[in-house]
Amino acid sequence: MKCRPHYNLYLESIAVSGQKLPIDSSLFATSNTQGTIVDSGTTLVYLVDGAYDPFISAIAAAVSPSARSVVSKGTQCFVTSGSVDSSFPTATLYFKGGVAMTVKPENYLLQQATSDNNVLWCIGWQRSQGITILGDLVLKEKIFVYDLGNMRMGWADYDCSLSVNVTSSSGKNQYVNTGQFDVNGSPRHYSGLVPTGVAVALVHMLIFGAIFSR
């Protein structure tokens, strides 16, 4: 079996404001030329062509009436004087096994400066061919946990401006159960672990360290 130098998640669908988008799930199928990967070294999110337009359209349809739609340099943007949380919808990524990742407005929007007192917010997700990449924009304010023995990963929302101390206890097989992880001495609930594709052990360790040292 040929190893792939990345984590390959099984994304199945996307919802905006609780409504699943009309996206063919085969667009997210994992193969040598397509799939969904996690890459903290990528700044933005790259959504596979065929899923991108439905996502952008759903966000634009769900924004507050106080947000005015504009296109800036080919990117869908909005001008609003209201708060991000009150003006923009929440999205959800659904993975195999019923695991869901909540995507807040701050996880898909980028702020740009304007000449007036309003704020210009632009969607920071880009169109991609074949591969969907979950970059740092959607990964921020989350702590990721990797179960290398079972090729799974999980995450928990966390204020990353705070310090992170991770402790664990493991059994004879040396594989850590994510339910045993504490953050700053307090137990944290992690979203259900997501099965991943095969990756080189060293790459697992490098990505683990990169995410926890951001």
pLDDT at 180: 37
What is the number of other CB atoms lying within 10 angstroms of the CB of residue 18?
A: 10
Weakest-pLDDT range from 108-117, 132-141, 169-178, 187-196: 169-178
pLDDT attached to residue 169: 47
Task: Give the global pTM.
Answer: 0.76
pLDDT above 50 for 83: yes
> Averaged over 187-207, what is the pLDDT?
43
Question: If 0-12 CB within 10 Å is exposed, 13-18 middle and 19+ buried, where does residue 65 land?
Answer: exposed
Count structural domains, the chain: 1
**Residue 210 binned pLDDT confidence (cut-offs 50, 70, 90):** very low
Percent of the chain with pLDDT over 90: 36
Query: Do the domain assignments include residue 182?
Result: yes
Confidence at residue 170, expressed as pLDDT on a 0 to 100 scale: 45
For residue 50, the domain's CATH number is 2.40.70.10
Q: For residue 66, name the pLDDT band (cuts at 50, 70, 90).
A: confident
Gap between the Cα atoms of 14 and 19, Å rounded: 8
In the prediction, which pLDDT does 78 show?
93
Q: How sure is the predictor about 167, in pLDDT bands with cuts at 50, 70 and 90?
A: low
What confidence score (pLDDT) does residue 92 get? 95
By DSSP bridging, strand 35-38 and strand 131-134 are parallel
Cα–Cα distance list, 89 to 56, 76, 84, 123 (Å): 12, 15, 9, 12
Half-sphere exposure (Cβ direction) of 54: Cα atoms closer than 13 Å: 18
Taking residues 80-88, what's their average pLDDT? 88
Task: Please report, as a single letter, which amino acid is at residue 112.
Answer: Q
Could you tell me the residue range of the domain that residue 182 belongs to? 7-212
Check residues 104 and 10 and name the one with the higher pLDDT.
Answer: 104
Q: b/e map of 1-15 (b: 16 or more CB within 10 Å)?
A: eeebebbbbbbbbbb
- Domain membership of residue 55 (yes or no) is yes
User: DSSP H helical segments within the chain, as ranges?
Assistant: 52-62, 84-87, 136-139, 201-212
Mean pLDDT, range 144-160, rounded to an integer: 75
Is residue 199 a part of any domain in this protein? yes
Which residue type occupies 158? Y
Whether 1 is in a domain gets the answer no
Give how far Cα 24 sits from Cα of 21, 99, 166, 202, Å: 9, 18, 39, 34
In this predicted structure, what is the pLDDT of residue 118? 66
Is residue 2 assigned to a domain? no
What are the tens digits of pLDDT across the range 110-137?
988 666 666 789 999 999 988 999 999 9
